[in-house]
Chain A
Amino acid sequence: MAIEQSVLDTIALSRDEYQLIVEKLGREPNEVELGLFGALWSEHCGYKNSKPLLRLLPAEGAYVLTKRGAENAGAVDIGDGMCIVMKIESHNHPSAVEPYEGAATGVGGIVRDIFAMGARPIAILDSLRFGPLTEARNRYLLEGVVAGISGYGNCLGIPTVGGEVCFEDSYAANPLVNTMCIGFAPVDKLVTAAAEGPGNILLLAGADTGRDGIHGASGLASRTDPGERFEELRPAVQVGNPFLEKMLLEACLDLAHNHVDWITGIQDFGAAGLTSSAIESASRGGTGIAIDVAKVPRREEGMTPYEVMLSESQERMLIIVRKGHEDDVAALFERWEVPTAIIGHVTDDRLVHIFDGEEEVGTLPVELLVEAPEYTREGEPAQELYEMESLDLIGLPDVADAGAALLRLLAAPNITSKRWVHRQYDQSVLSNTVVEAGADAAVLRIKPVLSPAEGAPADARQRGIAVATDGNGRYCHVDPYRGASIAVAEAARNVVCAGAQPVAVTDCLNFGNPERPDVYYQMQAVVHGIAEACDALGTPVISGNVSLYNESDGVPVYPTPVIGMLGILGDVTEHCTMAPSPGDELFVLGSSIEQAVDSLSASEHLRLEHGKIGGRLEIDLQLEERVQRAALAAIRQGVATAAHDCSDGGLAVTLAEMCLAADAGLDAANAVVGNRLDAALFGEAQSRIVLAVKPEKRDDLVGVVTSMNVPLEYIGTVTAEGHFRLGPLDLPLADLRDAYENGLERALAG
Chain B
Amino acid sequence: MRFAVIVFPGTWSDHDSQYSLQLAGQHADLVWHRETDLSGYDAIVLPGGFSYGDYLRCGAIARFSPVMPSVVAAAEAGKPVIGICNGFQVLCEAHLLPGALMRNDSLQYRCEWVNLRAENNTSAWTGLLEPGQVIRVPISHGEGRYFAEEATLDELESSGRVAFRYCTDAGEVTPAANPNGSERGIAGIVNERGNVLGMMPHPERACEPLLGGEDGLLIWKSVAEWTKVGV
Q: Do A and B come from one complex?
A: yes
By a beta-carbon cutoff of 8 Å, the part of chain A in contact with chain B is: 147, 150-151, 154-157, 241-244, 246-247, 335-337, 423-434, 445, 447, 450, 454-457, 462, 572-573
B207 contact set on A, CB distance < 8 A: 431
A-B contact count (CB 8 A): 100
Partner among B52, B112, B138 whose Cβ is within 8 Å of the Cβ of A243: B52
B25 contact set on A, CB distance < 8 A: 454-456
B16 contact set on A, CB distance < 8 A: 429-431
> How distant is the Cα of A363 from the Cα of B54 in the complex, in angstroms?
43
A155 touches B22 (CB 8 A): no
B27 contact set on A, CB distance < 8 A: 454
| B121 at the A interface (CB under 8 A) | no
Which of B7-15, B36-44, B162-170, B192-200 forms contacts with chain A?
B7-15
Partner among A150, A155, A425 whose Cβ is within 8 Å of the Cβ of B10: A155
| B26 at the A interface (CB under 8 A) | yes
Secondary structure at the B interface, as helix, strand, loop or mixed, is: mixed
Partner among B52, B55, B109, B211 whose Cβ is within 8 Å of the Cβ of A154: B109
- A selection of 27 A-B contacts at a CB cut-off of 8 Å is A154-B109, A155-B10, A155-B50, A155-B53, A155-B54, A243-B52, A244-B53, A246-B9, A246-B10, A246-B12, A246-B50, A424-B108, A424-B110, A427-B111, A428-B138, A428-B140, A429-B13, A429-B16, A430-B12, A431-B205, A431-B207, A432-B211, A434-B210, A447-B19, A450-B23, A454-B26, A455-B25
Instruction: Report if A426-B111 is in contact (Cβ < 8 Å); known contacts: A154-B140, A241-B53.
Output: yes
> How distant is the Cα of A150 from the Cα of B107 in the complex, in angstroms?
12
By a beta-carbon cutoff of 8 Å, the part of chain B in contact with chain A is: 9-10, 12-13, 15-16, 19-20, 22-23, 25-27, 32, 48-50, 52-55, 108-112, 138, 140, 142, 202, 204-205, 207-208, 210-212
B75 to chain A, nearest CB (A): 25
Partner among B26, B54, B210, B211 whose Cβ is within 8 Å of the Cβ of A428: B211
A246-B12, A450-B19, A454-B26 are known; give 13 further A-B pairs, CB within 8 A.
A150-B108, A156-B12, A243-B52, A244-B53, A246-B9, A246-B50, A426-B109, A428-B202, A429-B13, A429-B205, A430-B15, A431-B16, A456-B25
> How distant is the Cα of A457 from the Cα of B208 in the complex, in angstroms?
12
A335 contact set on B, CB distance < 8 A: 32
> How distant is the Cα of A242 from the Cα of B110 in the complex, in angstroms?
18
Partner among A157, A336, A433, A456 whose Cβ is within 8 Å of the Cβ of B49: A157
Instruction: Report if A157-B12 is in contact (Cβ < 8 Å); known contacts: A242-B53, A243-B53, A429-B205.
Output: yes
Partner among B9, B52, B211 whose Cβ is within 8 Å of the Cβ of A431: B211
A-B residue pairs, 6 tightest by C-beta: A157-B12, A243-B53, A431-B16, A155-B50, A426-B140, A450-B22
A332 to chain B, nearest CB (A): 13
Residue of A nearest to B27 (CB): A454
B210 touches A423 (CB 8 A): no
> How distant is the Cα of A454 from the Cα of B23 in the complex, in angstroms?
8
B20 touches A431 (CB 8 A): yes
B9 contact set on A, CB distance < 8 A: 243, 246-247, 336-337
